[in-house]
Amino acid sequence: MKKNIFWIFGILQSFSLGIIIFLIFHSLNVMSDKNIIGLDTRILLSITFPLFLLITEYIIYSKK
């Protein structure tokens, strides 16, 4: 049961973190006249950082 709760909230946390990262970089592009970071890099960072965070949390959680 605890593992199911971990996966539900872990995926929810990673999803919301990815959206926040994407929106921060999007707002930086909107505020600046120049293209600060490309769309492909925004998507890559919005997926990889929360995914690595979820994997790290799972490794820490599974050792308990």
SS (H, E, C) 1-64: CHHHHHHHHHHHHHHHHHHHHHHHHHHHHHHCCCCCCCHHHHHHHHHHHHHHHHHHHHHHHHCC
Q: Report domain extents, the chain.
A: 2-62
Contact 49/16 with Cβ under 8 angstroms?
A: no
pLDDT given at position 20: 97
pTM: 0.83
Give residue-wise pLDDT tens across range 14-45.
Answer: 999 999 999 999 999 889 888 888 899 999 99
Asked whether 46 and 21 are in contact (CB, 8 A), the reply is: yes
pLDDT, greater one: 46 or 61: 46
The predicted pLDDT at position 64 comes to: 65
| Size (the chain), residues | 64
pLDDT over 70, % of the chain: 98
